[in-house]
Amino acid sequence: MLKPAKDYRTLCDTFRWDVPEFYNIGVDICDKWAHQPDRLALIYDDDTGQTRRYTFRDLKRRSNRLANGLKAMGIGIGDRVGILLPQRPETAISHIGLYKLGAIAIPLFTLFGTDALAYRLENSQARGVITDAANLPKILSIRDTLPQLRVIIVTDGDAPEGVVAFQDLLSRGSDAFTPVQTRADDPALIIYTSGTTGPPKGALHAHRVLLGHLPGVEFPHNFFPREDDRFWTPADWAWIGGLIDVLLPSWHHGITVVAHRARKFDPEEAFQLMAKHRIRNAFMPPTALKLMRQIPDSSVPHDFKMRTIGSGGETLGEELLEWGRRIMGVTINEFYGQTECNLVVGNCSEVMPILPGSMGRPIPGHAVAVVDKDGHPLTAGRVGEIAVHSPDPVMFLEYWKNPEATGKKFINDWSLTGDLARMDDDGYLWFVGRKDDLITSSGYRIGPAEIEECIMKHPAVSMVAVIGRPDPVRTEIVKAFIVPRDASLATSETAREIQQFVKERLAAHEYPREIEFTDSLPMTATGKIMRRELKAREL
């Protein structure tokens, strides 16, 4: 835990890691608090407006029952289990139970389509999936293509043949369970991250990843936790930002988390939620902040009182920072990281000046530099790739079943991010651009390769290239350049068909919001599509 200091340098000089040999996320975030019977862990607002509250003792009993039930069904140490659920109590209970069982959790976004789910479940060789009634049909439609998938659990509604009801499993299981004694370096979860070439890669993280995240949460939230802190994020718990930037570190500290996953982000509802539940801390993606800023100042309710707001995924401008101070009453602290090595750079307004446009300084405990193509740190002012020195407790173990990609992620003792930046004389980092073609849209990092592969399955498509086009609200939107199989197919009706095609098979946030039909695509002599040339047309 970061101890408050008078300045940034003192904070860095006095910080020391404390990673024990044995450590289990489930025990840390739940069981260690359960001896306090009234300690509140979760406030859940469901989609009907009803509110339910859960103590840490409630979560311990339920997660123990789930762990016993899963064990009886043959799920054990090292087995992979998908969690296809939104922000809801069963999501958290599933994570806790799997960690205590020694299994490996795979967070899955509920907007994923069947192709996206099938790939991740097949690649990970998942033996089980926990989902809800709304998403169960997707799993059932691909079950026959996944012979290793033995266990399907549904949290609500009827359980058809071959599916187990979550509540039935809990009712049959004992609430006494002895957690597996996992080492800090034992694997705990796989989070799939998109890349620009090839299919998504599964970043395998150890139990220690939560300990590695702690300074990166405490720093931008001005020495979290403090008295009366209460955390919320609109970011889905299927992504690292919602799961390990908010849920798990809050429970490490015994702090209450508010859960509410709206079908679509509503800025007015966000203000109301912060007031209703006395939320003090939030992780807000920049797109959410931009949408909230569009509400007239006179219409913003004033019965909320935030202590901290952290944001990451893209650079915050001076106007957004000023709005945060004026309307939210806080200085929004920007931070930076990626799925493989998260929360390694950030701002803390209590110990350092906030420079608009900068992603901040290296967070205490992490050695971050700007390096050249050979992995040598560059002097101040020179542009290079952001890299994190290894070993680091927040760093991933490997890409699942992909040693070649894992090897390319490192040079010397540095883990490469693929993002270009410069560092000034005071150690502030300034983002320049992405080394590859990743698309950042509404806080999601989207790889074009998976979208292109999906679009190519449509019968009207001959060739396709996907890029991110600059957008004032979403940072970028997904745009597809398509060469049709026949010129007569280049119609608005075909474009809508393709958009729906991608929505159903991948995810709603990945579909191309714009489609441009073209006769040809710019290509290199070796046949590679030159996305940079397409992006240059949009500037």
> Cis before residue 267, ω within 30 degrees of 0?
no
> Cis before residue 225, ω within 30 degrees of 0?
yes
Taking the mean position of all CA atoms in its chain, how far away is CA 488? 41
Query: Which ranges constitute the DSSP H helices of 125-196?
Result: 136-142, 166-172
In 3-state terms, what secondary structure has residue 452?
A: helix
Beta pairing partners, 467: 479
Q: Average pLDDT of 109-119?
A: 94
pLDDT for residue 526:
47
Instruction: State both tokens at 196.
Output: 């620009």
In a 13 Å sphere around the CA of 298, the CA atoms on its Cβ side amount to 0
Q: What is the percent of the chain where pLDDT is above 70?
A: 98
Residue pair 362/345 in contact by the 8 Å Cβ criterion: yes
Q: Which helix (H) or strand (E) holds 432?
A: strand 429-434
Q: How many degrees, rounded to 5, is the angle at CA 313 between CA 197 and CA 284?
A: 140
Sequential DSSP letters for 265-288 = --HHHHHHHHHHTT--EEE--HHH
Q: Is 321 exposed, middle or buried (0-12, 13-18, 19+ CB in 10 A)?
A: buried
Residue pair 126/81 in contact by the 8 Å Cβ criterion: yes
Q: What is the DSSP letter of 356?
A: T
Write the pLDDT tens digit of every residue in 214-268. Answer: 999 999 999 999 999 999 999 999 999 999 999 999 999 999 999 998 878 899 9
In a 13 Å sphere around the CA of 435, the CA atoms on its Cβ side amount to 18
Confidence bin at 527 (pLDDT 50/70/90): low
Among 27-31, 115-119, 433-437, the range scoring the smallest mean pLDDT is 433-437
- Round to whole Å and give the CA distance between 218 and 329: 19
Q: What is the DSSP letter of 29?
A: H
pLDDT for residue 340:
97
Instruction: State both tokens at 23.
Output: 């450590």
What are the boundaries of each domain within the chain? 54-207, 439-538
- Round to whole Å and give the CA distance between 505 and 117: 9
Q: What is the DSSP letter of 33?
A: G
Residue pair 362/405 in contact by the 8 Å Cβ criterion: no
- Integer CA distances (angstroms), 511 to 436, 475, 496, 507, in order: 20, 15, 10, 7
pTM score of the predicted model: 0.88
- Round to whole Å and give the CA distance between 95 and 243: 10
- Round to whole Å and give the CA distance between 88 and 273: 16
Write the pLDDT tens digit of every residue in 271-316. Answer: 999 999 999 999 998 888 888 988 888 788 778 999 999 999 777 8
Among 14-18, 27-31, 243-247, 258-262, the range scoring the smallest mean pLDDT is 258-262
Residue pair 203/191 in contact by the 8 Å Cβ criterion: yes
Q: Which CATH number fits domain 439-538: 3.30.300.30, 2.30.110.10, 3.40.50.970, 1.20.120.450?
A: 3.30.300.30
Beta pairing partners, 310: 283, 333
Q: What is the percent of the chain where pLDDT is above 90?
A: 78
Instruction: State both tokens at 79.
Output: 């087995």
Architecture of domain 54-207: 3-Layer(aba) Sandwich (3.40)
* Topology match between the domains 54-207 and 439-538: no
- Round to whole Å and give the CA distance between 522 and 146: 38
Residue pair 75/65 in contact by the 8 Å Cβ criterion: no
pLDDT for residue 195:
56
Write the pLDDT tens digit of every residue in 399-436. Answer: 999 999 999 999 999 999 998 899 999 999 998 777 77
Write the pLDDT tens digit of every residue in 382-409. Answer: 989 999 999 999 999 999 999 999 999 9
Write the pLDDT tens digit of every residue in 80-103. Answer: 999 999 999 999 999 999 999 999
Instruction: State both tokens at 152.
Output: 């399907």
Maximum alpha-carbon separation in the chain: 69
pLDDT for residue 539:
77
Based on DSSP, count helices (H) and strands (E) in the chain, helices before strands.
Answer: 17, 27
In 3-state terms, what secondary structure has residue 84?
A: strand
Confidence bin at 198 (pLDDT 50/70/90): low
- Integer CA distances (angstroms), 219 to 7, 308, 392, 481, in order: 12, 11, 17, 42
Percentages helix, strand, coil for the chain, rounded to the nearest 5? 30, 25, 40
